[in-house]
Structure 1
C-alpha cells in the first residue's frame, strides 16, 4: 500500500473512532509497527493527529491542560521528588510551564536559597509561600516570573517578550517537561511558542534536566527544542524501564535518574 493511501486510511479510522491504537492500524493496513510509527510521525507533523502512548488521537492540538494534569500523577510526583536531588542551594534554575513542573514546584518550595526563573504562573504561585491560619509562611526562594503575553493555552507567559526576558538570565540548571522525548530528536513540544521558550532556557543554562514520565518516552511531537546530546539529566519513572527507547536514550543523554 502506498504511503498516501495509508495516510488516508489512518485519517479515516481516526475520523470514525477519535482514537486508534498502533495495533489496530497494523491490523487494518497489514503493515509493520515501524511503518505505523513513521506514518503517525508524518501525520502529526502535518497537524492531522496527536500521538499518544500506544497510538494516536484525532486532535489539532495537545490535550487540554486539565486532562494532562490528571494523567500519570503518581509518576509525575515521583519524578519531581527525584529531580530535586540534582538541585543545589545558591543555584539559579529555569522552570518551564507544565503539569510535571507544577508538581516539581511543590518540591522546590521545600528547598532554600534558590533563584527560580519561570514563565509559569502556577509554578510561581506554588513557590511564593503559603498562608497559615495565624501567620504567613515565608517563601525561602527568590521567584522571578518572566514577562510576556498571557498564553491562551495555560496560565503562563509566552511570546517574543518572554524569550527576550529569558536571555537576561544565566541559569545553572533548566528543568523542563516536554510533550515527548526520543533518541533521535530529543525533547519536543507541540506548541511553537512553548518550544521557543524551552529552547531559550536550554541555550541560557549550564545544564539541562528533562522531566518526562513513561508515556513520553519514545514519543516525538512537532517541534524539537533540545537534542539528546544536550540533555545532561533525564528524570523519568521506573515504568519507563519497559520502553525500548529508553535503552537508546541512555547511550546519548548525560545521566539517567529513575524515580
Structure 2
C-alpha cells in the first residue's frame, strides 16, 4: 500500500473515531508497527493528527452547521473582504469566462472588477444585479432562490452549470479543513458550488481568517483543488496542502 493511501485511511479513521491505537491501525492497514508509527509522526508534523502514546487523536476543529443571513455577514470582516476582493479582481483578464459564487466575500470582489471583456456567471442574485449595473455581460442560472444567502439552488441550477467550462471561479466557504476540505452547511448550495467548482480551470477560495479549522456539513471541494486568497493567515500548516495568497493590508488601494 502506498504512503498516500495509508495516510488517507489513517485520517479518515481518526476523523470518525476521534482516537485510534497503533495496534488498530496495523490491523487495518496490514502494515508493521514501525511503519504506522512513522506515518503518525509524519501526519503529526503536518498538523493533521495529534500523536499520543500508543496512537493518535483527532485535531480539534470547530464544527459549524448554521448559516448567518446576508445582512449579518456583510458586517463581518468587511476590511478583510475588501482586500481579498481587490486582489481576486486583479486575476480576471480579457476573454475570461468567470464563475462568481454567492456570498458576501465574493460580492466584495465585484466592487473591484474592471475587466469588461470577460463573461460572468453567478448564482448570486445580488451579484448579478451589481454586475449588470456596471455594464458587464452576466448570466444567472435558473432554479429557486434561497432567501438567507440570496443564492440560486436546485437541480435546474446544477444542470445549467454542468454545460459550462470556466477559466476562473471564485468561491466562498463556511469552513476550511485539511481533512474535510471546503465545506458549507446547506446541501443544495453545496451541489451548486461543487458543479461550478469542478468545471473551473482555476478555482479560488476567498476566505477571511475565521473560516480556517472549521468544518461545516457538506464538502464541495478538496483542500488541494483550489488556491486560497485570505488575510492574516494564522495556521501555516495549510501551506503544505495548497497555494495561499495572503493579502497584506497595505495592498488595498482606495480606487472606489
TM-score between the two structures when normalised by the length of structure 1:
0.69
Are 1:120 and 2:124 matched, yes or no? yes
Are 1:209 and 2:204 matched, yes or no? yes
In the alignment, what sits opposite 1:92? 97
**Displacement after TM superposition at 1:79 (Å):** 0.3
CA contact (8 A) 2:228 2:242 kept: yes
Q: What 5-or-longer segments of structure 2 have no aligned partner? A: 1-56, 249-256
Task: Select the structure of larger CA radius of gyration.
Answer: 2
Are 1:230 and 2:219 matched, yes or no? no
Root-mean-square deviation over aligned CA pairs? 1.9
In the alignment, what sits opposite 1:37? 60
**Residues paired across the two proteins, number:** 192
Partners of 1:92 and 1:64 lie apart in 2 by: 29
CA contact (8 A) 1:82 1:257 kept: no
Are 1:197 and 2:201 matched, yes or no? no
Are 1:152 and 2:156 matched, yes or no? no
**Displacement after TM superposition at 1:35 (Å):** 7.3
**Displacement after TM superposition at 1:64 (Å):** 2.0
CA contact (8 A) 1:250 1:256 kept: no
Are 1:249 and 2:238 matched, yes or no? yes
Q: What 5-or-longer segments of structure 1 have no aligned partner? A: 1-33, 42-49, 51-59, 131-138
In the alignment, what sits opposite 1:111? 115
- Encode CA deviations 1:84-138: one digit per residue, 9 max, x unaligned: 2222211001111101111111112x222111111111111111125xxxxxxxx
In the alignment, what sits opposite 1:69? 74
TM-score between the two structures when normalised by the length of structure 2:
0.70
- Say which SS state the counterpart of residue 107 (structure 1) adopts: coil
Structure 2 residue aligned with 1:78, among 61, 69, 83? 83
Partners of 1:35 and 1:146 lie apart in 2 by: 40
